[in-house]
């Protein structure tokens, strides 16, 4: 300890680091004491005598935004910015310790910042002591560390890191926030490619439930980072595209007085002395906005479905992107606008999110999403004919079953090479009562479904905007008129003809990326069996 004093004194003289240094010193002493107790006495003595790196490593005190901190102006470089052009410079980097491996007088650390990784090397030298290397090699995985290092170009690319051209030679290393030594899941395991039939190599995977239980760790994998950036992109593009087309964003209540659709699958919440329901669709409010002359509206918000279905594509709470629009004479105006908006969103994703798609593709090998511009529109009967050719008969007034939908998706893909298409003119019998019947063929309705990779993502229709016809249709469906009185009343004072539809954000992202489970695209999924975390 005697040797460290003079160094500290000189530093004290030229800067105001005193307080911090004192703290560090104390910490270091504590650490060393601990260290001594743990390891052999003789070794630590040697370390003490030769430690030239004191003040260059250790645990930082808790950062509480104190104004006296001298490192305020320190410039940090992002890991993704590290490249050849910075070679020879000293930089500061704050990142997570991804892996650490000590070998004799050397210590290799991989630093990770989101999906970017870089190799950090500690060599015992005149400025780096053995004990510093030892300290570094004992930092737990996933700890956040500050590193000062020199950027060095490497002769052969480092295959294991994203920054392959350079590595860092550490001169200081400080722990900002340490991780617990035991991790419930390893980030490498969670980000290992799932390519199916790979016999060689490690095949350790992380179970979906383990991932969800430890979502914070799981979300650190490059793939998850990319998935949720892409999801944000879908939301942003949806807003941008529709705003450009003259839509107004509205917010609809999530606590509603009565079930809007059906009624069996709503959550009941206690509401003071009575009870209320959680909205399972913003439909009624969208339509009311149309009746209130907003012309074109969209809304983004949570939607709740109390369906006890444990499938790969159902959640009890998801984000709904809904839109509704008044039209002049034909609901195709709306249908094609929605279709084109999708195409624009897909184009935006294709052009702006290539890196994300590529990263996700490394872990989950999926075919890239294909689409046509303008989107392909098939008549329901045409779809039936395609299915009939493949040996699946669907009646003219029958809905498509899920397997039939998937098969149709594959047939359309084989024929037109598009993963996105619109199926128009569904039979009236399989649509809700507020769907406008087709004036030309009585068994059809003015309704459409949109599909991605053979799974339905949007179901929309021209709604009946005439209270009389609406009452008639409701009676025909055997619906209690008293329950939907407020719905019918909304059209009493004149309402433009309108149509619309809604999509589930998570499902769209899942299908766009070709993932197999909707829980992969929901940050904190809610299903009948999970309400934590």
Partner 1 sequence: MNGPLKMYRTRQVVRHDIAVQLPDCMYKLKNIHAARNGMVEQRTDHVSSAPKKVDICDQVKQFLKNNQNLPEMAALELRQEEILRQLADLKKQMDNIRNNLQISKNAAVTSQIIKPKQGPPPSLPDVIINASPTNPPYSLELVQKLWKNYMFLSVKSYTHSSLSSLTENAQQLTKTLESFKPGNVPKINVKLIWKDVGANPELVVAHSRIFGEVNILRYLARVTSDYLNYETCNNVHEIDALLDVCYNIVKSKTKTERASLLQVLNKSLGKSQWLGDRSQISIADLAAYSAIKQATNPSEVNVNLGKWMQRCVACQ
Residues annotated as catalytic are 305, 307, 313-314, 456, 459, 507
**What does the per-residue mask of binding to partner 1 show for 258-287, with x meaning CB under 8 A?**
------------------------------
Q: Which is nearer to partner 1, 419 or 449 (CB)?
A: 419
Question: Under rule CB under 8 A, how many of the chain's residues touch partner 1?
Answer: 17
Least Å from the CB of residue 414 to partner 1:
8
Least Å from the CB of residue 367 to partner 1:
12
SS3 category, 463: strand
Task: Return the sign of the alpha-carbon dihedral for residues 495, 321, 455, 280.
Answer: negative
Q: Which one of 127-135, 285-293, 306-314, 366-374 is the stretch in contact with partner 1 (CB under 8 A)? A: 366-374
Q: Which one of 80-88, 135-143, 219-227, 365-373 is the stretch in contact with partner 1 (CB under 8 A)? A: 365-373
Task: Return the sign of the alpha-carbon dihedral for residues 513, 515, 520, 526.
Answer: positive
Q: Which is nearer to partner 1, 218 or 419 (CB)?
A: 419
- Stated as kind and residue range, the H or E segment containing 471 is helix 467-476
Q: Which one of 35-43, 126-134, 367-375, 516-524 is the stretch in contact with partner 1 (CB under 8 A)? A: 367-375
Q: Is 351 in the site for partner 1 (CB under 8 A)?
A: yes
Q: Which is nearer to partner 1, 132 or 407 (CB)?
A: 407
State the DSSP code for 518. G
- Stated as kind and residue range, the H or E segment containing 370 is none
State the DSSP code for 111. E
Among 198, 209, 249, 373, binds partner 1 (CB under 8 A): 373
Least Å from the CB of residue 383 to partner 1:
13
Least Å from the CB of residue 488 to partner 1:
40
Among 265, 370, 459, 471, binds partner 1 (CB under 8 A): 370
CB burial readout 456-470, b (16+ within 10 A) else e: bbbbbbbbbbebeeb
Least Å from the CB of residue 512 to partner 1:
11
Footprint of partner 1 on residues 386-425 (CB under 8 A)?
A: 414-418
Q: Is 376 in the site for partner 1 (CB under 8 A)?
A: yes
Least Å from the CB of residue 344 to partner 1:
12
Q: Is 364 in the site for partner 1 (CB under 8 A)?
A: no
Q: What is the CA radius of gyration of the chain?
A: 30
Among 193, 262, 263, 374, binds partner 1 (CB under 8 A): 374
Among 238, 298, 346, 491, binds partner 1 (CB under 8 A): 346
Least Å from the CB of residue 339 to partner 1:
12
Q: Which is nearer to partner 1, 110 or 357 (CB)?
A: 357
Among 94, 245, 332, 347, binds partner 1 (CB under 8 A): 347
Q: Which one of 20-28, 48-56, 369-377, 447-455 is the stretch in contact with partner 1 (CB under 8 A)? A: 369-377
As a whole number of angstroms, the distance between CA 480 and CA 487 comes to: 12
Q: Is 140 in the site for partner 1 (CB under 8 A)?
A: no
As a whole number of angstroms, the distance between CA 53 and CA 145 comes to: 17
Q: Which is nearer to partner 1, 198 or 373 (CB)?
A: 373
CB burial readout 471-496, b (16+ within 10 A) else e: bebbeeeebeeeebeebbebbeeebe
Least Å from the CB of residue 279 to partner 1:
34
Task: Return the sign of the alpha-carbon dihedral for residues 408, 414, 415, 421.
Answer: positive
Who contacts 500 (Cβ-Cβ below 8 Å, separation ≥6)?
A: 283, 286, 287, 322, 323, 324, 325, 334, 338, 460, 463
> Using an 8 Å Cβ cutoff, are 204 and 192 in contact?
yes
- Cα 173 to chain center, whole Å? 32
> Using an 8 Å Cβ cutoff, are 474 and 433 in contact?
yes
Q: Which is nearer to partner 1, 275 or 352 (CB)?
A: 352
Q: Which one of 83-91, 168-176, 354-362, 371-379 is the stretch in contact with partner 1 (CB under 8 A)? A: 371-379
Q: Which is nearer to partner 1, 263 or 374 (CB)?
A: 374
Q: Where are the alpha helices (DSSP H) in 39-111?
A: 41-50
What backbone torsions phi and psi does residue 46 show, to the nearest 5 degrees? -60, -45
CB burial readout 212-234, b (16+ within 10 A) else e: bebbebbbbbbbbbbbbebbebb
CA distances from 487 to 251, 258, 415 (A): 18, 10, 42
Point out which residues bind partner 1 (CB under 8 A).
Answer: 346-347, 350-351, 368-374, 376, 414-418
């Amino acid at each position: 300890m005697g040797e460290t004093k003079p160094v500290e004194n000189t530093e004290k003289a030229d800067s105001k680091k005193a307080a911090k240094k004192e703290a560090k010193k104390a910490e270091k002493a504590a650490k060393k004491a601990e260290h001594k107790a743990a390891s052999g006495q003789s070794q630590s003595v040697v370390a003490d005598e030769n430690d030239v790196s004191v003040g260059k490593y250790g645990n930082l005190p808790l950062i509480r935004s104190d104004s006296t901190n001298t490192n305020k102006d320190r410039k940090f470089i992002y890991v993704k910015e590290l490249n050849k052009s910075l070679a020879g410079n000293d930089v500061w980097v704050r990142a997570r310790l991804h892996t650490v491996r000590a070998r004799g007088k050397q210590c290799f650390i991989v630093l990770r910042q989101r999906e970017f990784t870089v190799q950090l090397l500690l060599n015992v030298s005149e400025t780096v002591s053995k004990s510093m290397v030892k300290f570094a090699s004992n930092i737990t995985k996933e700890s956040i560390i500050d590193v000062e290092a020199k950027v060095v170009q490497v002769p052969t690319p480092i295959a294991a890191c994203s920054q392959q051209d350079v590595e860092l030679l550490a001169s200081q290393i400080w722990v900002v926030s340490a991780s617990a030594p035991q991790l419930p899941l390893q980030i490498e395991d969670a980000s290992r490619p799932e390519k199916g039939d790979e016999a060689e190599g490690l095949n350790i995977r992380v179970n979906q439930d383990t991932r969800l239980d430890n979502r914070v760790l799981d979300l650190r994998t490059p793939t998850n980072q990319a998935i949720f950036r892409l999801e944000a992109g879908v939301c942003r593009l949806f807003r941008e595209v529709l705003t450009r087309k003259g839509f107004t964003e509205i917010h609809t209540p999530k606590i509603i007085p009565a079930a809007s659709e059906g009624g069996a699958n709503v959550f009941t919440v206690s509401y003071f002395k009575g009870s209320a329901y959680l909205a399972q669709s913003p439909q009624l409010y969208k339509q009311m906005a149309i009746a209130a002359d907003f012309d074109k509206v969209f809304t983004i918000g949570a939607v709740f479905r109390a369906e006890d279905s444990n499938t790969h594509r159902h959640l009890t709470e998801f984000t709904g992107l809904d839109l509704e629009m008044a039209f002049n004479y034909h609901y195709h105006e709306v249908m094609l606008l929605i279709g084109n908006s999708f195409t624009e969103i897909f184009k935006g994703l294709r052009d702006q999110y290539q890196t994300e798609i590529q990263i996700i593709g490394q872990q989950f090998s999926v075919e890239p999403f294909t689409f046509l511009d303008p989107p392909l529109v098939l008549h329901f009967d045409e779809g039936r004919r395609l299915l009939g050719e493949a040996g699946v008969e669907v009646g003219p007034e029958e809905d498509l079953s899920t397997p039939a939908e998937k098969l149709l998706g594959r047939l359309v893909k084989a024929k037109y090479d598009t993963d996105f298409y619109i199926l128009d003119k569904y039979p009236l019998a399989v649509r809700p009562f507020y769907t406008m019947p087709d004036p030309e063929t009585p068994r059809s309705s003015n309704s459409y479904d949109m599909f991605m990779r053979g799974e339905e993502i949007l179901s929309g229709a021209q709604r009946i905007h005439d209270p009389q016809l609406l009452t008639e249709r409701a009676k025909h469906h055997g619906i209690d008129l008293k329950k939907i009185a407020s719905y019918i009343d909304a059209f009493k004072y004149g309402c433009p003809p309108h149509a619309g539809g809604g999509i589930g954000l998570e499902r769209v992202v899942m299908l766009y990326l070709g993932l197999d489970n909707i829980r992969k695209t929901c940050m904190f999924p809610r299903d009948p069996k999970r309400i934590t975390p």
